[in-house]
Amino acid sequence: MPRLPLVDPDDPGLDPDVRELVEARVREIGKPCVLALLGKEVPPARDGDVITVATLEDAAHAAVALRRRLAWAPTAFTTPYEEIENRARSLRARLGAERGRILGLYAGGTLAHEASLILQPVARAEIVDLGADEHTVGRPHPMLDSSFRVKKIEEAARSADLAVLLLDVVLGYGVAPDPAGDLADAIASVARSAAVVASVVGTPEDPQGYAAQVERLEAAGAWVLPSNAQAARAAAVVAAQTDWRSRREEPRETGWSGQAARGTMVPGRIAGFLGSEVCVVNLGLEVFALDLASRDVPVVHVAWSPPAGGDPRLARLLAELADT
């Protein structure tokens, strides 16, 4: 099976030393590999059964291609570009001349980073990771509680220069039971004057239901793309800031031999751990414990919250009082 290492450093630039270390480790694995390197100036590349890509979606498609021994090349959109352009043109026709800004309000940090890397070279865009530390002091992560993101979306609705609002919706266990529904009213308020482009990360087996979440977003006025990368590109097309037909890149051949060395990377301890019974101690948010319990995983929940609601200044003051 292909393995998919992911390098996603805080710095948008990919450290060449990090890349060399990852590639060296890949040579030791001795199996088909896909490297998803989220960083600036990472062109698609292929050497035998090792493929390097720059987006999460390309990593998934490349892995399937390797597994099935199929040819693979990155593509901007999985639907014909004419359909993308027609939909974008209809949304753009509703925008005033003063509207040219793209605003991304993300719950997923890696997805926000990916969108930023895609849009930085081609568009006037501001991408905000609302799950970052500075936005989660004293409040739950936006994947759990959408109230802060709803507030930011409502603020965006009043922006006179907003052309496109870019959003992600993440499904699965341990997140909100209806994230799209939580955002629907706020999305509808933006869609009256600007375009809303979104993607849903999930599967039909997720408890929220992939199709139902897409339907809720579309009913609110969002254009839902099959992936975050496609959504970011579509946002740029709506804002009339790029034409992706001219940006297609074929995987280049690298200088690797194509034969990875057969290493001794057999993670026996990890396999043993995963094969044994797991008991989880959950601190803080009970939703994680409830999801595990629903899947018959032994879990102990400890009701805990950070001092002073996570406010560092107040926490320091409380610590000083405790010391007196």
Per-residue pLDDT reduced to its tens digit, 43-82: 888 877 888 898 999 999 999 988 888 888 888 999 999 9
Task: Give the separation between CA 1 and CA 196, rounded to whole angstroms.
Answer: 37
Angle at 214 between CA 208 and CA 149, to 5 degrees: 75
CB 170 within 8 A of CB 179: yes
User: Where in 179-279 does DSSP place strands (E)?
Assistant: 195-201, 223-225, 252-253
pLDDT at 246: 62
Q: Please state, in angstroms and rounded to a whole number, the distance separating the CA atoms of residues 274 and 293.
A: 18
List the end-to-end C-alpha distance of the chain, in Å, as a whole number. Answer: 60
Q: Which of 24-28, 139-143, 213-217: highest mean pLDDT?
A: 213-217
The predicted pLDDT at position 291 comes to 84
Q: Is the pLDDT of residue 224 over 50?
A: yes
Q: What tens digit of pLDDT does each residue of 259-299 get?
A: 333 444 445 666 676 677 778 998 877 888 888 888 888 99
pLDDT tens, residue by residue, 253-263:
444 333 333 44
Confidence tier at 321 by pLDDT (50, 70, 90): confident
Rounded CA separation 267/321 (Å) = 48
Query: Which domains does the chain show, CATH number per domain?
Result: 6-74 (no CATH), 81-247 (3.40.50.261), 268-323 (no CATH)
Per the CB < 8 A criterion, the answer to whether 50 and 19 are in contact is no
**pLDDT value at residue 241:** 66
Which two tokens mark 227?
């992936």
Question: pLDDT tens digit string along 30-41?
Answer: 788 898 888 777
Report the predicted TM-score, pTM, of the whole model to 2 decimal places. 0.81
Which class for 170: exposed (0-12), middle (13-18), buried (19 or more C-beta within 10 A)? buried
